[in-house]
Structure 1
Amino acid sequence: MDNNEENQSHNQTVEEETSDNENTTEKRASEKPNRPGMNTFFGGIVGGVISAVIVVLLFNSGTIPLNETTESSGATDSTEDEPTEVVETLASGDADTATNMSEASQAVVGVKNLQQQSIWEESEDAGTGSGIIYKKEDDDAYIVTNQHVVQDAEEIEVVLNDDEQVPAEVLGTDALTDLAVLQIDGENVDTIASLGSSGDLQVGETVAAIGNPLGLEFANTVTQGIVSGLERSISVDTTGNGQPDWVTEVIQTDAAINPGNSGGALVNGDGEVIGINSMKIAQQAVEGIGFAIPIDEALPVMEQLEVSGEIQRPVIGISTVSLNQVPPQYRNEISLPEDLEGGMVIADVQTNSGADEANLQQFDVITEIDGEEITSILDLRQNLYSDDNNIGDTVEIEYYRDGNQETATLELQGEENEQQEEL
């Protein structure tokens, strides 16, 4: 073989080796993306209000018929300027507080929703979500999860990190914030979560979601992502009637959140819980849009649920529907200016309530509260439940009666119980 042939052969061999190396590099890159710092970040990890408004009230002798995408990531199927004040300390008893990702994973548990199908059968697992052990005190441990994880449960079981199953008591739930607090015997609880601050988060910051996607078979699964957005306002349906009746502010992340992750932890690089995984966008064309309740917003609710079992919110003492929900046979009872686009029609006034004392009546149409326009149940709730309004405060109501604009000043009262349906 002459020199030219040898050189050509050598060049061909070098090109083939280079091509092989490039293909190998590309393959490895596609199999394991290069994310600076994340090898360290995940090193050592092994595997793993009230009810919403439902108005069914009597108009004259008849009953008002109510005709009134995001989805919960929860139980595997079967269900300001100033920051929110944060509870300063949470007791840890004789348990260790998580200091890294691996320990944070040990503080995330499974939550089984048990329901009885008939009186002749034992309760069965109707769904499984996740929960976070955030406190241990006086031999008891406390777990925060989503309200929709424990909804309609007759019994609750918590599955600890060592697979031990223990019964749990539901201390309190709140549908609007989608939070619930559980209590269990803390004898076998060795680690509680370290709670960080969601107020310190930055868009692009690395986070991880810890939970039980698809149930306990994949318990303590950790998925990686970033903070995709802060203070996202998401309309939610808390009544199941297909109509949004509340807006919740959440953290958006692209960390994988699947059914069963609800109630699990969204943690930062130090293993601190900065959010409670709650829901995701579930559409075929959508990928990587999940949401978590900010821990700074959750903490005051958790504290109230733990102590009193419910969240006290102000009410004016009415049941109400939007104009377009009023049945045709009752619309002649309502007289409004032609240019009025919306309002909330009073269906019933609760005796001895603030509305009753202010002489509000059935068929009155509320259009403003303290100068803020009211056109939907969402507007009404957001106004009543804002940080500016507290039980005992007074508000000015603008309403229409028989076509005439009227105003009334009334005192906000507390809900009588957690099942109260009036606003």
Structure 2
Amino acid sequence: MENNNKPFGEEQNTLNYEDKQNTYHTNYNREENTLQNQVTPKKSNPNLKSFFVGLIGGLIPSTIVILLIINNVLPIQQQPDNTFIASASQQENEPEIVTTLATDDAVSASSIEEASKAVVGVVNLRRQSIWTTSEEAGTGSGIIYKKEDGKAYVVTNHHVVDGAEEVEIVLNNEDRIAAKVLGSDELTDLAILQVDGSKIDTVASLGSSSDIKVGETVLAIGNPLGLEFANSLTKGIISGKDRSVSIDTNRDGSADWITEVIQTDAAINPGNSGGALVDADGKVIGINSMKIATRAVEGIGFAIPIDSALPIMEQLEVNGEVARPFIGISTAAIHQVPPQYQHNIKVPEDIEGGMVIASVETGSPADYAGLQQFDVITKINGEAVTSILELRKYMYSETSVGETVSIEIYRNGEAHTVELELADRDSI
């Protein structure tokens, strides 16, 4: 059966080519027949005819070339050995085609090249059963940010190594090195890996995300669609700063965390997660994390700002986890309280929202502070709290373990202020 699965336009080009061939042969044969009809065979001398045909055939192209050279259609170019050749002229307004990354100067290109060497592949390995060896369950990217005491440290995304039984990094020369996960944090989507540093000779230069400007040129470095396209670079700009993106960390269908990210239109594809977002000098200003992937949206990717990532990276490297302040309550927004419990919620009409305490953990800071079920939290240190997102964002971003916070609540319709000392969950 004939294969008709050709790329669009291929079949049409083939037909055009065949038509041109047929046209060429038809015109040639027609020309030859005309010449033969004009010459009487009886009066012609075959040798004389061949001589004149050859002479004319040689003079015509020579005459044409001379005329083209005289009229500067074919300029003469002198070679170093004093020979002359004729070449087709190029219009001055035609752009020169180059096959290199467009950069403003050589220093930027060199720095970006070094940054690319510090971006590695991260392979998530899992076993399908106890009888099989580990196989690739997914690949992402990572950034070598430090080398110390013979060890190298790589930052990547939590979701890249989540569920892995083994982890490997792949250098840009395709060497594979076993990696140890020192710590991983789901809320910030960061993870730290430790590897043998004997084969590591390039470490990324970390910049600052606080000084970035909208419209600034950036490049995303990573491994889109796996290791086949390792160390790919895509170019774009910073589309927005301090973007707040709601994410669903426990995959229950509702957002439970807000992360602050850098928005860019540099292409970020599956496999780029954990890779570097660098400025024109090759300094890392962000860690590529996610994108909006719908058919109606193009060019909206996000990176974790390096300034907010560094404190988390340090905690994960040293402690294996992030120490976050702990209150010891479970809550729900006022409108989410089941109807049978609504009569327990009493707040003034001018209160637009708040978090209702559903339960208090025994021995927790909330327990020691005297918080009770059905208390309605409206503010923490004067900051309004109307959702779990606002509560977590303020607690994890603006407070620390050991700090005392002021919590405003309504109990039976009356306002109260409670002083509460934050603690680490592990200390309870």
TM-score range, shorter chain: 0.7 to 0.9
Cα distance in structure 2, aligned partners of 1:345 and 1:115: 42
The answer to which structure, 1 or 2, has the higher relative contact order (CA under 8 A, 6+ apart) is 1
The match for 2:387 among 352, 376, 382 is 376
* C-alpha distance 338-237 of structure 1, shift in aligned 2 (>3 A): same
SS in 1 for 2:426: coil
1:414 is aligned to 2:424: yes
SS in 2 for 1:385: helix
* C-alpha distance 184-348 of structure 1, shift in aligned 2 (>3 A): same
The amino acid of 1:180's aligned partner reads A
Render the CA deviation track for 1:221-248: whole Å, top value 9, x for unaligned: 0111122222222222222223222222
* C-alpha distance 371-196 of structure 1, shift in aligned 2 (>3 A): closer
Cα distance in structure 1, aligned partners of 2:189 and 2:313: 11
Cα distance in structure 1, aligned partners of 2:199 and 2:193: 16
Cα distance in structure 2, aligned partners of 1:284 and 1:32: 32
CA contact (8 A) 1:41 1:269 kept: no
Cα distance in structure 2, aligned partners of 1:35 and 1:136: 29
| Aligned twin of 1:282 | 293
* C-alpha distance 35-186 of structure 1, shift in aligned 2 (>3 A): closer
Q: Report 1:157-172 matches (<5 A).
A: 157-172=168-183
Q: Report 1:173-188 matches (<5 A).
A: 173-188=184-199
Cα distance in structure 2, aligned partners of 1:354 and 1:178: 27
| Aligned twin of 1:293 | 304
Count of aligned positions: 343
Cα distance in structure 2, aligned partners of 1:332 and 1:151: 43
SS in 1 for 2:323: coil
| Aligned twin of 2:157 | 146
| Aligned twin of 2:211 | 200
| Aligned twin of 1:132 | 143
Q: Which moved more, 1:282-291 or 1:238-247?
A: 238-247
CA contact (8 A) 1:266 1:292 kept: yes
Q: Report 1:7-156 matches (<5 A).
A: 25=94, 37=103, 40=106, 100-156=111-167
**Displacement after TM superposition at 1:33 (Å):** 12
Render the CA deviation track for 1:10-41: whole Å, top value 9, x for unaligned: xxx99xxxxx989x94xx69x98999745858
| Aligned twin of 1:75 | none
* C-alpha distance 33-310 of structure 1, shift in aligned 2 (>3 A): same
SS in 2 for 1:286: coil
CA contact (8 A) 1:203 1:230 kept: yes
CA contact (8 A) 1:147 1:180 kept: yes
SS in 1 for 2:238: strand
**Displacement after TM superposition at 1:217 (Å):** 0.8
The amino acid of 1:345's aligned partner reads V
The amino acid of 1:259's aligned partner reads P
Cα distance in structure 2, aligned partners of 1:202 and 1:398: 38
* C-alpha distance 347-139 of structure 1, shift in aligned 2 (>3 A): same
Cα distance in structure 1, aligned partners of 2:125 and 2:344: 47
Render the CA deviation track for 1:397-422: whole Å, top value 9, x for unaligned: 222233333321111112328xx9xx
Cα distance in structure 1, aligned partners of 2:101 and 2:125: 41
Higher helix proportion (structure 1 or 2) = 2
CA contact (8 A) 1:141 1:184 kept: yes
| Structure 2: unaligned runs, 5 residues or longer | 1-70, 73-88
| Aligned twin of 1:399 | 409
| Aligned twin of 2:25 | none
SS in 1 for 2:122: strand
SS in 2 for 1:375: coil
The amino acid of 2:403's aligned partner reads D
The match for 1:320 among 321, 328, 331 is 331
Cα distance in structure 2, aligned partners of 1:294 and 1:130: 16
Q: Which has the larger radius of gyration?
A: 2
Cα distance in structure 1, aligned partners of 2:112 and 2:336: 50
The match for 1:273 among 281, 284, 309 is 284
Cα distance in structure 2, aligned partners of 1:401 and 1:231: 36
**Displacement after TM superposition at 1:113 (Å):** 1.5
**Displacement after TM superposition at 1:115 (Å):** 2.7
**Displacement after TM superposition at 1:155 (Å):** 1.8
Backbone CA RMSD of aligned residues: 3.0
1:241 is aligned to 2:255: no
**Displacement after TM superposition at 1:212 (Å):** 0.4
**Displacement after TM superposition at 1:156 (Å):** 1.3
Render the CA deviation track for 1:138-176: whole Å, top value 9, x for unaligned: 111100011111122222121122212222111111222
1:251 is aligned to 2:289: no
CA contact (8 A) 2:108 2:282 kept: no
Q: Report 1:214-225 matches (<5 A).
A: 214-225=225-236
* C-alpha distance 315-133 of structure 1, shift in aligned 2 (>3 A): same
| Structure 1: unaligned runs, 5 residues or longer | 1-12, 15-19, 44-98
Render the CA deviation track for 1:113-142: whole Å, top value 9, x for unaligned: 223333343333221110001111111110
CA contact (8 A) 1:211 1:265 kept: yes
CA contact (8 A) 2:108 2:281 kept: no
The match for 1:212 among 210, 220, 223 is 223
Q: Percent identity?
A: 62
* C-alpha distance 259-41 of structure 1, shift in aligned 2 (>3 A): farther
